[in-house]
Structure 1
Amino acid sequence: MNAKDAADSLYQALLTEAQQWACDDTEDQEVLNAIDRAHTRHDKLALLQNSSLVPADLLSAITDALLTLDPATYSPDPAPTTLGPAMPDPELHRIRDASITVVDASSEDNTPSDVYEIQVHGISVVICRRAQWGPATNVPYVRIEDQNEGQGLLLVEVNNGGEHEHPRASPGESAA
């Protein structure tokens, strides 16, 4: 059995374990439904990590094994880049429920700094510097993406300027 097949078998065992731990309550069933609807294995794993369906120690051990066996499938996507020379593999770090991916700086995609992506609680935050933005140089860049589904609210505060509401539209609606 190759590493990818071993990772697939291990993931299926993890999913079966989550289904067995799930209660009949609405919240657990919604998580299982969201996992079923997720497009990629990484997204499915992230939903499991943000749930309480599997004991944390077991989930952490299996996640580490999945990342070792098949990092292309189970690692978070690095920050988007333009086509060009291949970038070095991103570094992945796990801290409690969060994952941090670090991608080396690249002059080809206008990032003079390393790119950091933090994923936790269904939120993805990308932090880097842009070489040029209009007349300014070496500009801080932050992208926040709420990966949860359905209606909700994302509160964002910048430079102690107070929270700003960013509603998340339900499917079929556009955000205001």
Structure 2
Amino acid sequence: MNPYDVASSLYEALLTEAEQWACDDTEDQELLDALDRAPTPHDKLALLQTSSLIPSHLASAITDALLALDPATYSPDPAPTTPEAPMTDPELHRIRDASITVVNASPEDNTPSDVYEIQVHGISVLIRRRAQWGAHTDVPYVHVEDQTDGPGLLLVEVNNRGEHEHLRASPHVATT
């Protein structure tokens, strides 16, 4: 299970707890309606934290866990990166079920470009440029990793030259 799924599960547990504590009175029902309308997970979490629907120690513990697992979504102080401000930490973006992490270029590590990692459907794809590869310079580099457990098949196609099969062995079977 990836951090996004775990964070979603924790948030859902917090919401379920709030719904169980809610009474039939108007104030509690209005708060639950506001939670449904809140535009972002951060806004929903902020509403839950300031409500009387859940014990404060439970809200604090789950908030800490959500921030540790998914700081880009649940951070209380979102700080967008501007082109003028260099990124010191990886930048994380969420699009539906996918996460995209961007890390600054690092010429001392033979990485003249930013590094992009896309994670979705149990697959991680890392894309960057390499300064040097043999006689070639500024070479595109793509790394694909199947993060799913158990046996299976990964199909990869490059430049419309047909799929290539990559078998994923069971973790209990030794590969030769």
Q: TM-score range, shorter-chain basis?
A: 0.5 to 0.7
What is the CA deviation profile of residues 38-92 of structure 1, one whole-angstrom value per residue up to 9, with x for unaligned ones?
xxxxxxxxxxxxxxxxxxx99x727x96699635x4469xxxxxxxxxx711111
Q: Counterparts of 1:67 and 1:165 in 2: how far apart (Å)?
A: 42
Match of 1:172 in 2: 172
Matches within 5 A, 1:63-82: 70=67, 73-74=69-70
Matches within 5 A, 1:89-128: 89-128=89-128
What is the CA deviation profile of residues 11-46 of structure 1, one whole-angstrom value per residue up to 9, with x for unaligned ones?
59728739x9xxxxxxxxxxxxxxxxxxxxxxxxxx
User: How far apart are residue 108 of structure 1 and its match?
Assistant: 1.5
Instruction: List alignment gaps of at least 5 residues for structure 2.
Output: 1-5, 17-36, 46-62, 73-86
**2:17 corresponds to 1:61:** no
Match of 1:163 in 2: 163
Q: What letter corresponds to residue 116 of structure 1 in structure 2?
A: Y
What is the CA deviation profile of residues 102-126 of structure 1, one whole-angstrom value per residue up to 9, with x for unaligned ones?
0011111111110000000110000
For the 8 Å contact 2:99–2:118, the answer to whether it is kept is yes
Identity of aligned residues (%): 62
Instruction: List alignment gaps of at least 5 residues for structure 1.
Output: 1-9, 21-56, 77-86
Quickly say closer, same or farther: Cα 1:108–1:68, change in 2 above 3 A: farther
Quickly say closer, same or farther: Cα 1:140–1:152, change in 2 above 3 A: same
TM-score by length of 1: 0.55
Q: What letter corresponds to residue 145 of structure 1 in structure 2?
A: E
For the 8 Å contact 2:10–2:66, the answer to whether it is kept is no
- Aligned residues, how many? 117
User: How far apart are residue 172 of structure 1 and its match?
Assistant: 2.4
Q: Counterparts of 1:159 and 1:69 in 2: how far apart (Å)?
A: 40
For the 8 Å contact 2:123–2:146, the answer to whether it is kept is yes
Q: Counterparts of 2:65 and 2:152 in 1: how far apart (Å)?
A: 34
Matches within 5 A, 1:23-42: none
Larger radius of gyration: 2
Match of 1:17 in 2: 13
Q: What letter corresponds to residue 118 of structure 2 in structure 1?
A: I
For the 8 Å contact 1:67–1:74, the answer to whether it is kept is no
For the 8 Å contact 1:117–1:125, the answer to whether it is kept is yes
TM-score by length of 2: 0.55
* Secondary structure in structure 1 of the residue aligned to 2:88: coil
RMSD: 3.7
**2:132 corresponds to 1:132:** yes
